[in-house]
């Protein structure tokens, strides 16, 4: 499966035009993003359009589909929640070939999630990795309820794994002032970032400046993403 994913924007895969120019052949085309700061700025600009209901950069048309079919040069990797109200490309007003997106409930990490994020950064060369939590996260709310009722082991299937994985963030904010769920959502973003920094792939890449790791929060009420 990964082998097909690896058919990416390498020079050999994208032909004579090269990875930097291949996906961007038409008018209104953006230059490639090479730094984490520039990638973050591009994401936040897209979110500002989303908030203002001025979506304009989402490009899912035939031209763009053909342009990126032979190679890709995504500029950011984002891990967000599975919540149906937080579709990553829409929130950032981005289209085909722009983002590597991994979603899991409450941004919970496991081997596949972490490996996919490492793949986005190390193999697809995105200079930015964002962990995006969100307002009123149901997964974290469910974790709070399970912990309060001392029923953390009561879930069927693998939902218990999610509760176990998200519970450190809930414990971290115990007794803190403010909204408990919101506090836990934000603490969880920090927790996920800390875990990702332990990755032997991501940690050194961040230290050497090859990737910027950033936490962010999506507000359902406004559509706004803020860096935290």
Residues of the shown chain interacting with Zn ion in the complex, contacts defined by CB under 5 A: 81, 83, 137, 139
Least gap, CB of 52 to Zn ion (angstroms):
24
Least gap, CB of 141 to Zn ion (angstroms):
8
Q: Which residue has the tokens 């309060």?
A: 148
Q: Which is nearer to Zn ion, 58 or 162 (CB)?
A: 162
Least gap, CB of 169 to Zn ion (angstroms):
12
Q: Which is nearer to Zn ion, 184 or 211 (CB)?
A: 184
Least gap, CB of 134 to Zn ion (angstroms):
6
* Residues 161/139, Cβ–Cβ less than 8 Å: no
Burial (CB < 10 A; 0-12, 13-18, 19+), residue 174, is exposed
Please give the structure tokens belonging to residue 193.
């970032």
Q: Which is nearer to Zn ion, 119 or 218 (CB)?
A: 218
Q: Which is nearer to Zn ion, 68 or 189 (CB)?
A: 189
Least gap, CB of 153 to Zn ion (angstroms):
21
Quote the Cα angle for 115-4-97, to 5°. 80
Q: Which is nearer to Zn ion, 43 or 139 (CB)?
A: 139
H helices present in the chain, as ranges: 2-5, 11-14, 36-51, 62-68, 88-91, 111-118, 138-148, 159-172, 180-197, 202-207
3-state helix, strand, coil in the chain (%, to 5): 45, 10, 45
Q: Which is nearer to Zn ion, 139 or 173 (CB)?
A: 139
Least gap, CB of 139 to Zn ion (angstroms):
5
* Residues 199/116, Cβ–Cβ less than 8 Å: no
* Residues 193/211, Cβ–Cβ less than 8 Å: no
Q: State whether residue 132 is helix, strand or coil.
A: strand
Chain-centroid distance of CA 10 in Å reads: 22
């Amino acid at each position: 499966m990964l082998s097909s994913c690896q058919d990416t924007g390498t020079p050999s895969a994208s032909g004579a035009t090269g990875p930097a120019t291949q996906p961007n052949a038409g008018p209104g085309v953006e230059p490639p993003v090479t730094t984490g700061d520039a990638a973050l700025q591009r994401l936040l600009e897209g979110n500002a359009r989303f908030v203002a209901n001025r979506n304009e950069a989402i490009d899912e048309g035939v031209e763009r589909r053909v342009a990126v079919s032979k190679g890709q040069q995504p500029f950011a990797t984002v891990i967000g929640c599975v919540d149906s109200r937080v579709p990553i490309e829409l929130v950032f007003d981005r289209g085909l070939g722009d983002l590597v997106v991994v979603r899991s409930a409450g941004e919970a990490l496991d081997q596949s999630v972490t490996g996919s994020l490492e793949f986005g950064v190390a193999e697809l060369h995105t200079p930015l990795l964002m962990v995006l939590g969100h307002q009123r996260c149901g997964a974290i709310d469910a974790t709070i309820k399970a912990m309060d009722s001392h029923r953390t082991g009561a879930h069927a299937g693998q939902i218990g794994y999610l509760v176990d994985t998200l519970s450190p963030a809930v414990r971290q904010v115990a007794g803190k002032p403010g909204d408990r769920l919101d506090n836990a959502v934000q603490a969880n973003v920090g927790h996920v970032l800390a875990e990702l920094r332990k990755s032997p792939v991501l940690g050194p890449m961040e230290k050497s400046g090859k990737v910027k790791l950033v936490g962010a929060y999506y507000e359902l009420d406004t559509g706004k993403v803020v860096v935290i």
